[in-house]
Amino acid sequence: MAVIRKKGKKDVPGYNSSSMSDIIFMLLFFFMITTTMRETEMLVQVRLPEATEIQKLEKKSLASYIYIGSPTASMRRLFGDSPRIQLNDSYKQPWEIGEFIASERDALAEADKPSMTVVLKADEYINMGLVTDVKIELRKAEALLLVYAAVRREHE
């Protein structure tokens, strides 16, 4: 009877990692394309008022922001010192808020539309007449969930 003997110790073949870099670069490109890093460019200066009773906004994905303040230094040369309303990345007039709310609402899922919240970031020294005009336009657009942004006041 023949005895089968192994000749020498055989090693496990090496791990082929040549395609690993391709996979890593594909993942990198995927995340670079699908991730949005850009926030709204501030065209107005907003110094938020101080408050003691502040609550965090639960679902920021359902929030649309309206900024009210004086134009930044670079924009003052073009638009002057009068307070402006900023919607997304441009100055708008109060009567254009309805169109803004409609486009923001259309971007939401059907189930989230009733929960859409408008966050008003207004400078603490801004004229309340402009804020009232914005609130009237929000009522006309049926955007009734309104939140005023503020910073926490430290206790004295």
pLDDT beyond 60 at 88: yes
Taking the C-alpha atoms of residue 87 and residue 153, their distance in angstroms, rounded to an integer, is: 27
The answer to whether the beta carbons of residues 80 and 120 sit under 8 Å apart is: no
Among candidates 51, 89, 88, 48, which has minimal Cα distance to 69?
A: 48
pLDDT above 90 covers a percentage of the chain that reads 56
105-126 pLDDT, tens per residue? 999 999 999 999 999 999 999 9
What pTM was computed for the model? 0.73
pLDDT digits over 116-154, tens only?
A: 999 999 999 998 999 999 999 999 999 999 999 999 987
Question: What domains appear along the chain, each with residue ranges and CATH number?
Answer: 65-152 (3.30.420)
pLDDT above 90 (res 36): no
Classify residue 106 as exposed, middle or buried by CB count within 10 Å of its CB (0-12, 13-18, 19+). Answer: exposed
**Is the per-residue pLDDT at 68 higher than 90?**
yes
